[in-house]
Amino acid sequence: MQRTLILLKPDAVKRRLIGRVLARFEDKGLRVVGMKLMQISQELAAKHYEAHKERPFYPGLVKFMTSSPVVAMVLEGPHAVDVCRKLMGATFGFKAEPGTIRGDWGVSNQFNLVHGSDGPEAAEREIGLFFPGGAGLLDWKTADADLHLCD
């Protein structure tokens, strides 16, 4: 089992896409082990996106991510990082395949609805930022867990 961080960005929240995006992940068999609606602080946004600090889009990205609530969630399942990245689609909506989150709902190059960790190490770091010390993460089983549908 692997865990990954998913953020439903301000544009997804403002467009009332929370339930539909979450359903995509759950329909694929991923399990929500933590989720919260939150306002990202300047400090948290800066730390989360520190790898992009020298890029020209960084100030706008931080401003956007702190402009409105986001949904932060941790999803768990086999190959969760790769599965989520495929479900999200290419970064820019116009390049994303139909059937992906960004391909179906992406309307902008700048606003791409969702963030997902890009690897297991990034997932561990990002989960620690949004759920410090594992606070708010639960270990539970789905009703079909014993059927081994996800093995």
**Whether pLDDT at 147 is above 60:** yes
Mean pLDDT of the chain: 94
* CB 77 within 8 Å of CB 66: no
Q: Which residues is 34 bridged to in the sheet?
A: 74
**Residues annotated as part of the active site:** 115
How far is the C-alpha of 151 from the C-alpha of 127, rounded, in Å?
A: 24
Cβ atoms 61, 49 nearer than 8 A = yes
Neighbours of 84 (CB within 10 A): 25
pLDDT band at residue 145 using 50, 70 and 90 as cut-offs: confident
**What does the pLDDT read at residue 83?**
98
d(CA 61, CA 56): 10
Q: Mind listing the domains of the chain with CATH numbers?
A: 2-131 (3.30.70.141)
146 vs 92: which has the higher pLDDT: 92
